[in-house]
Structures are given as structure tokens and as C-alpha cells.
Amino acid sequence: MDFSVLNNLSQAVIFIGLDKKIIFMNSSAKKLIKKKEGESCVGLFSICENCPLEDIKKDKNKRENFDIKLNCCDLTVCHTITPVIENNKVIGILEEFRDYTKVSNYLKQIKKEKEFSRKILDSIVDSILVVDEIGNIIDYNHNAKQILCKELSDIKGMNIEFLLSKKIYELPEEREDIYINTPALGNIKVSLLSTPLKEDKGRLISFYVIPECMLNQEAKGRLVSKNPKMIYILETVKTIVDTNASVLLEGESGVGKNVIARYIHSLSSRRDKPFIKINCAAIPENLLESELFGYVKGAFTGAVRDKPGKVELADGGTLFLDEIGDMPLYLQSKLLHLIQEKEFERLGDTKTRKVNIRIVAATNKDLKEAIKKGDFREDLYYRLKVISLTIPPLRERKEDIPFLVNFFIDKYSQMYNKSIKGISPEAIKALLDYHYPGNIRELENIIERAVILAKKRVIDINDLPEEIFIKEQSNQQKSEIEKIKDVLKQTNGNKSLAAKILGINRVTLWRKIKEFGIEEQA
């Protein structure tokens, strides 16, 4: 076979026989390859580890590879393998390759720059949308994804008008507060800026949520959540607000029962009347009755004049009984009478007074267990829980954390006169990973502390307290740790014997000791 014509080609060409020996190399190949004709081709290219020769003999198909290493001179090449066929049988292969190093490095640089641009985009505190000249969405950053609750593939190509209710040419080129229609949260207020992209003729739209409606204690008519349980609670509240039914709010300490109580009041027809709160656990037992029902002059030593109680002050509005599980048993009967008859007497008085109030009670205790122990009246329990709502702990509604964080940043930035504009992606991830035994109250304290300590305009991971980086151990893990400790104690630290007793191999035991940090105890 005459291969001399191949010497005129600028690209390198070699012919390899079925025994993997080099039969021919053209002049371009000889300049690059140190091997000689007749030598083995093994190790020439980075793909030699998975040599395609056997597959080519079977399927007789051409192969093309990009970004292949030529090992002898550390070049990146574009590589083509073509079977040489005679009498319908493969008798060898032609390998053609050309220097691809500059192109490969250029593509890697483009990829690197693209990844760098993505990191910059995702690190920006604002939510960012990139749209083309007619307003179709091209890209977005991580914060926008959290707001929209949509993958890019779901909204790419969708027009911005669905979100902003404005056409692209109507968008403000100076920062402006507008409402946007988000798929998960409905209308939310944002501060928005639209910047033209001159070369691409599109626009970069940046916005951040104005958290005026998030957990607003003055209520302004709305609470926002993305958690299904909380959405159900908020929808239930809207259904029952215009009734006079008593409401019992249950849940752990710090979950926001006080906020829900105020929300109920703010949506009801009583919104312009008083909202009166009394904490049954914070007032001494001997003073709670007079605080709740009031007293008349001379009712007890020191009662020098008449004083209305919380019940009377709440007339026409809502009475919020916080920590109802701590109310003394003797007072529970008077409260039951108030709920049933809408009447009461001041302490030391014989006059019965009528009131028009709605009662909302809250507790972090198991009232059914308290009933069994005789600490809470069963009839009062059922009168209070005409409507019963259990507020989920923050660890079960982590999708709400970014919005709560924004709200608390805004609140405490104003309180402490700081210009904190947001939080870094690393810090928000740490907050999302934490388990919050103190619930929303703990999150609020964390953000207040971070706002005070922050030296930059964005809260970063160094502004967060150390305890949020300590992973919570499950009950199962705690039980397993105790079991390992006990067995190690029984075996005087003999890990081989301990592994045998535990029914695991020694390597697994070593791994668990290291993972759970119990090596020292062993």
C-alpha cells in the first residue's frame, strides 16, 4: 500500500496495523512523535488506556475525539480514527491528528470565565433576571430562583410581563418600588431596577423584596409563607376571622403564635377595636385574677381605686391569652364562665359586667397531658379549641427562612441605623442548614446580632454565631453513640471485641468512632 501521498498533508497521519504496531508515519507525524515505524503505538495518546481498535474491527465505524492528549509532547489534539478496509475486513487504522491546544485552552478559558460570571451573578444580594430585547427570560441568579421557586428550564423563554405585569419598555431605569406577581407568593412588593445591556440589546433586571408584609406586627392585612402547612393555617385564618369562635394556637415556643393571634385580629371586623394580650405565665398567681378581671376599691389591701382588667379593656376586640397552659386551676372556671356567658365580675364586686370579646389562646404545652394530670380543665380545653391551629416549628418550614431573614435585616438595620442590604449565599446556606431549637425567635436574635456585628453592607458567614454550625444529632444517632460508648466501656476499649459485640466490622467501628467524635471517651 502506497502511503507517500500522505506526506503532502499538513496534519499528522499514522497507519497502525492490527498488531498495534506503527506501519507508516507521514512527515508531519514524525515531527511530533518520537516513536519509529515498526514500534508499538501503545501509550501514544491518552485514549490508549481504552484502545478502540477491537471495537473498530467489529463495527468498522470512524471515531472522532476532541481534547485528546498526545503523551510524548503534552499536546492537546483533535484526533480522528478511520478504519482501513480490504475485502470487507479491517486491516488497520489511519489516525489523523492536528494540534488543538490553542483552541482547547481558549474553550477552557471561556468556560472558566462563564463559571466566574455565574459565581458573581449568584453572589449578588439582589435577585437578577437577564432578558432579551423583547423581554424573554434568558438567565437568572440563585436569589431570583428562591423568589420565583422555579427552575430556569421552567421559565427560560417566558416573557417578563407574566412576572412584572409590565412590558420591557415600561420597566423603570431608576430604582422603583413595584409589585411583582410571583408563582408561589402572589403579589409581593420589590424595589426594582432595569439596566440596558447595550451589546445584547436585552436588559438586566435586579430587585429585592421589601419585607413590609413579612410578619408585620401591625399586620397590614397579609402574612407570607411558602410552606404548605403554614399556607393552610393562613387560609384557615381567612375563613374564620369574621366568626366569634375561640381559637387555640399550639406549637413550640418561638414559632410565632403571637403573630398569628395579631393576624387573626387584624383581618377580623374587630380590627379597629383593642387587641389585649396577657401572658398567664409571666404574672404571679395571686395577681393574675385581678389583672385579668380587674378589681374595685377595697377589694384587697392596696386597692385604693377601681381598676378594669384585661377582659374589660378588650371589650369589642380580641383578648389574647398567651401561655394558657400555665393558668391556675381555680381561675380556669372563671375563664370558662366568661367564654360561655360573655360576662364576669371584677374582684371584690357583685356587679356582673357583659363583654363582647373574641378569645384567642396559645400554649406550648400538651394540654391533653395536662388534663390527664388534673392541671387543666377538659371542658375549658374544648371551649377554647373550637378552632385549633398547630404552628409548625421553623425546622419544618425552612423555605420561609430567606424571607424572614430579609425582614429581620430590614427591621434591625433601621433600628441600629446600619446600611445592611442583604446576606451572602454562604451565610444563608448556613442558616438553612441550622435546626433552630428556639424557632423564629432564635432566628430573629441571630440576625439582630449579625446586623450589629456586620462590618460590611452584606452579612457574611463570619457574622453568624458559632452554635449554628453545630450539627444536630438525631435520636437514633444519640442512641447509637451511647451504645458504642457502653460496649467500649465493657470491653475496656478493645475495638475488635466491641465490633464483634455490636455486629459490625472493625473498620465500620473505627469510622463511627471518628464520625461521632467518641474516640477520646473510648
In a domain, 141, yes or no: yes
Q: Are residues 174 and 292 in the same domain?
A: no
Q: What is the CATH number of the domain that holds 31?
A: 3.30.450.20
Please write the tens of the pLDDT for every residue from 398-446: 888 888 888 898 889 989 999 887 788 788 888 988 989 899 999 999 9
In a domain, 431, yes or no: yes
Instruction: Provide the residue range defining the domain that includes 487.
Output: 475-516
Highest mean pLDDT, choosing among 231-245, 293-307, 503-517 = 231-245
| Residue from 165, 168, 164 nearest 147 by CA | 164
Q: Are residues 241 and 381 in the same domain?
A: yes
Q: How confident is the model at residue 24 (pLDDT cuts 50, 70, 90)?
A: confident
Q: Are residues 408 and 272 in the same domain?
A: no
pLDDT above 70 coverage of the chain, percent: 78
Q: Which three cell numbers stand for residue 137?
A: 427570560
Q: Are residues 316 and 185 in the same domain?
A: no
Q: Are residues 248 and 371 in the same domain?
A: yes
Q: Are residues 233 and 381 in the same domain?
A: yes
The pLDDT of residue 521:
44
Q: Are residues 240 and 291 in the same domain?
A: yes
In a domain, 330, yes or no: yes
Q: How confident is the model at residue 173 (pLDDT cuts 50, 70, 90)?
A: low
Q: What is the CATH number of the domain that holds 354?
A: 3.40.50.300
311, 294 Cβ separation under 8 angstroms = yes
440, 394 Cβ separation under 8 angstroms = yes
Please write the tens of the pLDDT for every residue from 442-460: 999 999 999 999 998 889 8
Which one is predicted more confidently, 74 or 354? 354
Q: Where a domain ends, among 390, 407, 423?
A: 390
100, 67 Cβ separation under 8 angstroms = yes
Q: Is the dihedral of CA 208, 211, 214, 219 positive or negative?
A: negative
Cα–Cα distance between 79 and 71 in angstroms, integer? 13
Cβ count within 10 A of residue 433: 12
203, 195 Cβ separation under 8 angstroms = yes
In a domain, 446, yes or no: yes
Strand, coil or helix: 195:
strand
User: How many domains are there within the chain?
Assistant: 5
Q: Are residues 384 and 415 in the same domain?
A: no
